[in-house]
Structures are given as structure tokens and as C-alpha cells.
Amino acid sequence: MVRIITGSKKGRKLITLEGEATRPTSERIKGAIFSSIQFDIENRRVLDLFAGSGQLGFEALSRGAESVTFVDSERDAMDIVKRNAKDLDLFDKSKFSIADYRNYIRKASGRDKFDLVFIDPPYAMECCVDSAVRLRDAELIIPGAILVLESGTETVEEGDQRLAGFEFVKSTSYGKKTSVNVLIYRGDEK
């Protein structure tokens, strides 16, 4: 069962997709993520790039984020996100896009700006670094933006030249399968 941990929607349950198509972030990891950014959520414009059920974006809204744009390439997943938004009475603070992350970033360039981004793709995609770089290069994140990258086998490391302009704030491993990296975009170099 996936639920909102705290905030205005604390305890509310979320609907998730049946089967193995999506992998919801565990409550333990979600709790750790939000503990590390808890003072940097209010009034943020959030991008939930691989939304799944939308749980990370809805958690942010429950904790005071201004708005969330949910992006997922699967129509079934986006139907679930929309249903959760309605059930939580957060539809008016939500935008929805059914798109591959690369297409979304390309099309949104010049239109949207975000200051909190969740990048939690299916682990087999190994595209956390690529997503962060594309967001930076498309100027979809503002200086001071926080990016939370959740990955499986993909290595996300401080010193990776592709991540120029990002500062690593926290890197944590959860067992052998999951790593979470919290980065701040400084915007001073590409």
C-alpha cells in the first residue's frame, strides 16, 4: 500500500498500477528522501519526471509545493496519476503529460521552469544522469533547484563531468538495489 506520509494529505492512500510495470518507491526510501529536503518543498514548482502513481509529486504537494507536473510515458500510469489527483483534491495543482522524458524535456524547453525535480525511472533505463543533463541543457531548472535521483544499477557519482553545475548534497544506498542522490543545480557552468 502506498500512502502520503505527512502534510495536508497525511495518511491518504494512493492507487498504483497492477503488475510489474511500475516500481513504487518504498515508504522507507520516500521518508528518507523527504526528510533530507523537508525544508525545501514549500512553494516549489515540482517536476515528477517518471511519475508512476505520482506518489513523490503528491507527497510534495501535501507538504506545501505550489504545483507538480507529472510526466510518464505510459497512458495507464497517467490515468492512475489523474485519478489520485482527483481523489486527493489536488487536480488543480497538477499538470499531466504522457511523454517519453526526452520528448517532454525537448518540448517543454523555454516554457517551464522547475525548482524541485524527482527523477525515479525504471531502474533498467539507467537514465538519471541523462535526465539531469537534459533538464540543465534545456534550461528547465533554475539555479538552486533540487534534483532527487533514485537509481538501481546506474552509477551517479560526484565528479562525473556530465554533471557540471550540480553540487552533490547527499548520496545514500539502500541495500544492493537502490541509490538516492540529492543534487542542487548551481547554474554557474555547463
- The answer as to whether 151 is a domain residue is yes
pLDDT at 7 over 90: yes
Average pLDDT, integer, range 54-66: 97
pLDDT above 80 for 45: yes
pLDDT at 50 over 60: yes
| 130 inside domain | yes
Share of the chain above pLDDT 90, in %: 80
**Residue 142 in grid coordinates:** 533554475
Q: Which three cell numbers stand for residue 147?
A: 534534483
CATH of residue 79: 3.40.50.150
Q: What is the pLDDT of residue 18?
A: 77
| Residue 128 belongs to some domain of the structure | yes
Judge whether residue 189 has pLDDT over 70. no
Sign of the C-alpha dihedral, residues 41, 44, 49, 55?
positive
Residue 108 lies in a domain: yes
pLDDT of 47 strictly over 90: yes
Q: Is residue 35 part of a domain?
A: yes
Q: Which residue has the higher pLDDT, 8 or 174?
A: 8
Band (190; pLDDT cuts 50, 70, 90): very low
pLDDT in tens, 8-22: 999 999 999 876 556
Q: Residue 111, Cβ neighbours under 10 Å: how many?
A: 8
Question: Does some domain include residue 52?
Answer: yes
One DSSP character per residue, 119-186 reads E---GGG--HHHHHHHHHHTT-EEEEEEEEEEESS----TT-GGGTTEEEEEEEEETTTEEEEEEEE-
Q: Which three cell numbers stand for residue 116?
A: 524541485
Residues 6+ apart with CB under 8 A from 150: 25, 29, 33, 118, 119, 120, 128, 178, 179, 180
Q: What does the angle CA 181 – CA 187 – CA 190 come to, to the nearest 5 degrees?
A: 90
User: How many structural domains does the chain have?
Assistant: 1
165-185 average pLDDT score = 92
Instruction: Return the pLDDT at 177.
Output: 85
User: Which is nearest to 62 in space by CA: 84, 29, 88?
Assistant: 88
Domain contains 140: yes
Domain hosting 154: range is 2-185
pLDDT at 19: 61
- Give a yes or no: residue 190 inside a domain: no
